[in-house]
Amino acid sequence: MPAATLAFRPPAPTPRETPLGMFGMIATLRRNPIEIWTRRHYEEPVLVGRTIFGDRAVISDPEGVRRIFLDNAANYRKDDLQLRVLKPGLGEGLLTAEGENWRAQRRSLAPLFTPRQVSTFAEAMAASTREGVARFSRRRPGERIDMLEEMSRLTLEILEHTLFSEGLGRDTGEFQKAVNHYFNTVGRLDPFDLLGLPQFLPRLGRLRGQQTLQWFAGAVDDIIAARRKLIADGGAAPRDILTLLLEAQDPETGRGMREEDLRSNIVTFIGAGHETTANALTWTFYLLSQAPDWRAEVETEADTQLNAGPIEELGERMPMTKAVLEESLRLYPPAAFLSRAAIADDEVCGAKIRAGAIVTVSPFLLHRHKTLWDRPDEFDPTRFLGAKRDKIDRFAYIPFGAGPRICIGMGFALQEAIIVLAHLTRAFRFDLAPGHTVRPIQRITLRPQGGMPMLVTPRQ
């Protein structure tokens, strides 16, 4: 196992000495929200205050995180700001629904993501990945690629073939462009939203995203209609997520999903599952390129384990790779910012949270908090190995959230990431393009600014 002494501190914003004023805050939230944090945020467990935007609390104490996401979760709803950003694209799918609508959807969708069900997607994931390997093989040795773009394409293809086995029926490249466009326009925080201005005032970014949204909705409606027809005509429907969705029933009421929830959830799975996983993989390849000792470990596991047993058990055979992935999700959690609005007054770790307050739990901050991690800014996957892994507080490490609203796609994403890491590492080595400066930037998900230029070389 590589010694932790080869300390590598991957790029992150330098904590601010003083908090930002109103205009600075709006500009920074729009430009790159992970740059708002001050030194105190990285050192203190709970910060509560009144700001121009209203009452705000930032919780980085595992006990507090537990209270908000689990013990008193009923008192915390998704706040209006994130709903305004997400709802235009995702409708009222699982990520954005609240109350009884959310509970009914979660009950209906849970069977689609059980470990057993997810393991049935492993072969489709591997098949799409092998196509990705073939694509890379056509590159010249040492050719420059944008890893973020490549991972976006691959994770979209994997989703495409697990959601709808016969594919989207439209060009994946066009679909990918539409998804990227969506994140760069609709997904950007609008100053009007930050100021809480009424919805009838148009948001420029959202107007620009409208066409994309319509294109999205059209593509998904076509696919649903075609599948319904296939089933109605007595055809053998493939056992992919779409068929499972069409069959999904609320176990309490026996009711199927409403038509609009079907479409919202397909778009939600793409919206929530595509960029997040692509970013996690991109960051992991970047970190490996900077830590040759760990890359050698992952290469050894990939060489010896990929074909050594069932593909759905690959994760269990690759503990080092899994530790690298978990460390990557710690340093660069794709969902860097989670927030809720308090419904009634509450007390969290001795601090009073008033009704209406916006409570932020930032995995980015929590995962680099000085009181919770040893050398928090260093890349050290040994944290996630053996007994050390067991000592990590469940609520100090939350790349997939926690409590009843924990990511439903967690098992899916982890299985997919290991399959992709194993296949690509066995075949290629990726190095950061010389002269490129890596900078994390938050655009709904935490991504490398300007992509991740890397050089791809086949391994002998």
Name the residues that contact ligand HEM, by CB under 6 A.
94-95, 106, 268-269, 272-273, 276-277, 280, 334-335, 338, 399-401, 405, 407-409, 412-413
Looking at beta carbons only, is 77 or 436 nearer to ligand HEM? 77
C-alpha distances in angstroms, 164 versus 191, 266, 342, 382, 452?
37, 10, 38, 38, 29
Q: Which residues have CB under 8 Å from 358's CB, separation 6+?
A: 53, 54, 55, 56, 57, 79, 81, 339, 340, 341, 342
We find the least distance from the C-beta atom of residue 404 to ligand HEM, in angstroms, to be 7
We find the least distance from the C-beta atom of residue 31 to ligand HEM, in angstroms, to be 22
Looking at beta carbons only, is 89 or 273 nearer to ligand HEM? 273
We find the least distance from the C-beta atom of residue 78 to ligand HEM, in angstroms, to be 6
We find the least distance from the C-beta atom of residue 129 to ligand HEM, in angstroms, to be 15
Residues in the chain: 460
Quote the distance between the C-alpha of residue 435 and its chain's center. 28
Looking at beta carbons only, is 401 or 448 nearer to ligand HEM? 401
C-alpha distances in angstroms, 387 versus 174, 326, 366, 391, 393?
46, 15, 21, 7, 12
Q: Which helix (H) or strand (E) holds 64?
A: helix 62-66
We find the least distance from the C-beta atom of residue 329 to ligand HEM, in angstroms, to be 6
> CA-CA distance, 427 to 245, in Å (whole number)?
35
Q: Which residues have CB under 8 Å from 252's CB, separation 6+?
A: 104, 107
Looking at beta carbons only, is 94 or 291 nearer to ligand HEM? 94
We find the least distance from the C-beta atom of residue 139 to ligand HEM, in angstroms, to be 25
Q: Output the 3-class SS for 196-239.
A: CCCCCCCCHHHHHHHHHHHHHHHHHHHHHHHHHHHHHCCCCCCC
Looking at beta carbons only, is 95 or 366 nearer to ligand HEM? 95
Q: Look up residue 202 and give its two tokens.
A: 């148009």
Q: Look up residue 190 and give its two tokens.
A: 């609008």
We find the least distance from the C-beta atom of residue 431 to ligand HEM, in angstroms, to be 23
Looking at beta carbons only, is 34 or 455 nearer to ligand HEM? 34
We find the least distance from the C-beta atom of residue 244 to ligand HEM, in angstroms, to be 12
DSSP 71: I
> CA-CA distance, 391 to 377, in Å (whole number)?
19
> CA-CA distance, 252 to 236, in Å (whole number)?
28
Looking at beta carbons only, is 155 or 212 nearer to ligand HEM? 155
Looking at beta carbons only, is 216 or 269 nearer to ligand HEM? 269
